[in-house]
């Protein structure tokens, strides 16, 4: 058993969890700029002092929201490695998850794309958090395509990301069925390139 130095571990309190969960729901559902701190405080049932104890500003909370979404995605991709024995099966499982999201009646577009669209400065901490996520994701995709023997894994990762982002935007703008079908066709074309 590994011994943990408890003096360096800060437990997550229920209040912080409530703030993050409330922010996640509201930011994704309504947009990060339209939801104010006072509303998050009210819906999380915390005091203003408690909010500012954990988050020095709304922007700090938005960064935490993006990082939380990033962690969820990383955990999901890691779980695919344990459940599927080939890179192609992992990629298809990921596409299936995206397809389910696109067809969900509560789908509000891509959380990372939506957050980035509301912050134009590429050096803003929110944009940096989004960029970090997208760079990690591009590397994961490239590794999956390399593992499949794709002749150009970097290009395949770029093509996949473009197809996924396009499907997310198209589904959010009104036609999730067509977006989902187009995503499936695009992914199959990319996969077919690895068997030529």
Kindly report, residue by residue over 163-192, the tens digit of the pLDDT.
999 999 999 998 999 999 999 999 999 999
- pTM of this prediction? 0.88
85 in a structural domain: yes
Structure tokens at 182: 């187009």
Residue 20 pLDDT > 90, yes or no? yes
pLDDT at residue 21, rounded to an integer: 96
pLDDT at residue 67, rounded to an integer: 97
Once rounded to an integer, what is the mean pLDDT over residues 111-138?
96
Residue 1 pLDDT > 90, yes or no? no
153 in a structural domain: yes
The residue assigned the tokens 């077919």 is: 192
What CATH number does the domain containing 79 carry? 1.10.357.10
pLDDT at residue 13, rounded to an integer: 64
Q: Where does the chain have alpha helices with state H?
A: 14-30, 37-44, 48-54, 58-83, 87-103, 111-117, 125-147, 153-173, 176-193
35 in a structural domain: no
Percent of the chain with pLDDT over 90: 89
121 in a structural domain: yes
What is the domain range of residue 79?
58-193
Task: Return d(Cα 159, Cα 141) in angstroms, integer.
Answer: 10
Average pLDDT across the chain, whole number: 92
8 in a structural domain: no
If we measure between CA atoms, which residue out of 166, 160, 58 comes closest to residue 110? Answer: 166
93 in a structural domain: yes
145 in a structural domain: yes
Q: State how many domains the chain has.
A: 1
44 in a structural domain: no
Residue 10 pLDDT > 60, yes or no? no
């Amino acid at each position: 058993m590994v011994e943990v130095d408890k003096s360096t571990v800060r437990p997550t309190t229920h209040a912080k969890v409530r703030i993050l969960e409330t922010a996640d729901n509201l930011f994704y559902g309504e947009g990060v700029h339209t939801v104010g701190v006072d509303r998050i405080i009210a819906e999380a049932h915390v005091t203003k002092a408690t909010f500012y104890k954990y988050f020095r500003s709304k922007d700090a909370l938005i960064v935490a929201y993006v990082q939380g979404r990033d962690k969820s995605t990383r955990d999901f991709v890691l779980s695919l490695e344990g459940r599927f024995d080939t890179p192609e099966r992992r990629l298809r499982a990921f596409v299936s998850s995206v397809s389910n999201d696109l067809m969900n009646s509560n789908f509000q577009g891509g959380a990372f794309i939506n957050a980035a669209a509301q912050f134009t400065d590429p050096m803003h901490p929110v944009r940096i958090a989004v960029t970090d996520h997208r760079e990690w994701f591009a590397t994961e995709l490239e590794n999956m395509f390399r593992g499949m023997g794709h002749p150009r894994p970097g290009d395949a990762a770029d093509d996949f990301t473009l197809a996924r982002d396009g499907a997310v935007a198209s589904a959010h703008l009104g036609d999730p069925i067509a977006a989902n079908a187009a995503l499936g066709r695009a992914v199959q074309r990319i996969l077919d390139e690895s068997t030529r």
